[in-house]
Structure 1
Amino acid sequence: MQKKQDYRFSVAPMMDWTDRHCRAFHRCLTKRALLWTEMVTADAVIRGHRERLIGFSDVEHPVVLQLGGSEPAKLAEAARIAEGFGYDEINLNCGCPSERVQSGAFGACLMAEPDLVAECVSAMRAAVSVPVTVKCRIAIDDLPAEETLFGFVDKVAAAGCEVFTVHARKAWLKGLSPKENREIPPLDYGLVARLKAARPDLAVILNGGIAQLEDCRAHLETFDGVMLGRAAYQTPDLLGGVDSALFGEGMPVPPAEAVRAFEPYIAARLAEGISLHAMTRHMLGLFAGQPGARQWRRTLSERAVKPGAGLEVLRNALGAVEGAALAG
């Protein structure tokens, strides 16, 4: 019997951002958030350096691998490999609007091909015992949003998908860049709420434009979960309040406490030859808006990139923040 996942709060998959070091850092701030990998193509999982592409640390659980692709057999094989690595869930990307993704015939363009997505989901579910889920937009280009979203979800749900994370914007594949697609198309939370009301048996997670824990709490009255992307990454201190605010567990995790909790992970990776910058680049916004934040960013930006940089750089940066807080 599958373990039931708690979808109340997720950190979105973000290319070049949510790598394994980022996820290990985020886990120092929240034990309950569902963490996601960057999107990895099925072909890369099958043919590439698997440990480099999808390797992760036990501390990251629960963690979702997001796959990109549109060929059922390849997605099934990639899902099987991912389950062998120990992922808690496999997600199919039907929402990324980048040209690179379109050229591969996957991502948001799959919103126009629900039958194909249903085939992919069916093949993946037959290959693994962990949940197979889908992340999508509400529609693409000139397709009518309500009709497209409901039709897409119904066909994919009929193939056995029970969990949909919906970025509540259209994706405009013609005319907008990926960055513009995250900001310009208007949000339509109401449409996603109507989907949840009409399909109460499905888990519907809301994504797009959410930036505060107070907003998360409000949305959880309607949806099964919320997903935050840029706000979680750029101001990670927000994650320190997730467990207490949304799960009713413990007290908020202070940023300095998270830094110290991350030190053993950093030390272990440094010993493996990973650069300090590869890990600390995900921490730059941790003290945003607090005394010493500028010195924190400057120290890590300038010194962590140097060859041989070690934990003393991180400790000096933290000391500057704590000194500024005392002086203030």
Structure 2
Amino acid sequence: MAKDKTATHRFAVAPMMEWTDRHCRYFLRLISKRTFLYTEMVTAEAVLYGDRERVLGFDPAEHPLALQLGGSDADKLAQAARIGAEFGYDEINLNVGCPSDRVQSGRFGACLMAEPALVGACVAEMVASSGLPVTVKCRIGIDDQDAEESLDRFIDEVARAGCASFIVHARKAWLKGLSPKENRDVPPLDYGRVHRLKKRRHDLEIILNGGIESFAAAKAELAHVDGVMLGRAAYADPYLLAEVDGEIFGEEGPVPSRLDVLDAFRPYVEDQLRRGVRLNAMMRHILGLFHGQPRARAFRRHLAEHAHLDGAGIEVLDGARRIVAGESRMSIAAE
């Protein structure tokens, strides 16, 4: 699997647990060729001791693609990073932002922001073992930390270890008292803190993440930082990525229509069905493709009602296409 030598973080889709699996990433790649994609977080132990093809496998079309790892044992992370490099990933990313209790109990994720020296040691080992760029995704701070002083200290320490790119979710993570879901919304956004970090460390690549809800908002932030990363907004309305290649990267050429994307996804779906993948494992990622368009509700309803059934096949996707293309009376009734 050849690595993408032209990869850039100017625009990226965030790693999202249970969302950005290989089927989701393949689908998103059909909309944008240049958006940087990330796996779901994978623990170092899962890489070392799990089914590696299931945990790490991906289609070459997904490049540029990063493997996000979770952990705090430098030796295990180094081994996992080396294996990721052998699988053909373009980058290894270390998760220092997830606030869940399960992650904290394993001593990784956002709680590591309190241990910059340990994160630095992990990064140094991962760089040495993999030969790939190692990036870090973090918050602006945790709990009662001073987000000015503590973030600067964290970034400086980890940068000295060999990390040149940081993805900063512009909220604190509250490890005590807030659920992971609340941690995505309750702590206030502070884009200004990330802007100040970029001004102070202009030598580093700083990518802004957190609360960006539209392509226009993302593009506006590029005046202040090196890149932007969208999460839930890109999943809910994936076709917003259709603007990325032309508007962000200056690529010329036709923009695929939503129906073009659906048609391009069909051969992949057929292939995966032959491999024993359930239809719903793929269809759940395309529910937002026609967001805001006529017959979008009928499209979603058709997939929701039929894709999960035992034996569901390509005819379900074809039926959904006919609905959204206005070729079926079902679309009229459903609206």
Aligned-pair RMSD on alpha carbons?
1.6
Aligned to 1:179: 181
Gapped regions of structure 2 (runs ≥ 5): none
Aligned to 1:106: 108
Q: CA deviation at 1:253?
A: 2.6
Distance of 2:54 and 2:152 partners within structure 1: 37
- Give the number of aligned pairs: 327
Aligned to 2:285: 282
Which amino acid is the alignment partner of residue 296 of structure 1?
A: F
Aligned to 1:132: 134
Q: CA deviation at 1:5?
A: 3.3
Which amino acid is the alignment partner of residue 99 of structure 1?
A: D
Q: CA deviation at 1:221?
A: 1.2
User: What does residue range 1-328 of structure 1 map to in structure 2 within 5 Å?
Assistant: 3=5, 5-249=7-251, 250-323=253-326
Structure-2-length-normalised TM-score: 0.95
Distance of 1:36 and 1:154 partners within structure 2: 24
SS at match of 1:296: helix
Runs of 4+ in 1 over 4 A off after TM superposition: 324-328
Distance of 2:215 and 2:308 partners within structure 1: 33
Q: Contact 2:13–2:35 (CA<8 Å) still a contact in 1?
A: yes
Distance of 1:269 and 1:191 partners within structure 2: 44
Q: CA deviation at 1:239?
A: 1.4
Question: 1:230-257 CA deviation, whole Å, 9 max, x = no partner?
Answer: 0000111111222122112234332111
Question: 1:33-90 CA deviation, whole Å, 9 max, x = no partner?
Answer: 0000000000110001111111111010010000000010000000011111100000
Distance of 2:294 and 2:264 partners within structure 1: 21
Q: Contact 1:240–1:255 (CA<8 Å) still a contact in 2?
A: no
Distance of 1:149 and 1:119 partners within structure 2: 17
Question: 1:264-320 CA deviation, whole Å, 9 max, x = no partner?
Answer: 111110110111110010011111111111110011111111122122211111111
Q: CA deviation at 1:203?
A: 0.2
Q: Contact 2:11–2:227 (CA<8 Å) still a contact in 1?
A: yes
Q: Contact 2:71–2:109 (CA<8 Å) still a contact in 1?
A: yes
Which amino acid is the alignment partner of residue 32 of structure 1?
A: R
SS at match of 1:145: coil
Distance of 1:251 and 1:155 partners within structure 2: 44
Question: 1:94-119 CA deviation, whole Å, 9 max, x = no partner?
Answer: 00001010000000000000000000
Q: Contact 1:141–1:174 (CA<8 Å) still a contact in 2?
A: yes
SS at match of 2:170: strand
Q: Contact 1:242–1:252 (CA<8 Å) still a contact in 2?
A: no
The structure-2 alpha-carbon separation of the partners of 1:266 and 1:233, relative to structure 1 and needing over 3 Å to count, comes to same
SS at match of 1:283: coil
Structure-1-length-normalised TM-score: 0.97
Q: Contact 1:292–1:324 (CA<8 Å) still a contact in 2?
A: no
Which amino acid is the alignment partner of residue 258 of structure 1?
A: V
SS at match of 1:139: strand
Relative to structure 2, which stretch is displaced further, 237-246 or 166-175?
237-246
Which amino acid is the alignment partner of residue 318 of structure 2?
A: R
Q: Contact 2:7–2:34 (CA<8 Å) still a contact in 1?
A: no
Report the identity percentage. Answer: 60
Q: Contact 1:39–1:67 (CA<8 Å) still a contact in 2?
A: yes
Distance of 1:181 and 1:253 partners within structure 2: 35
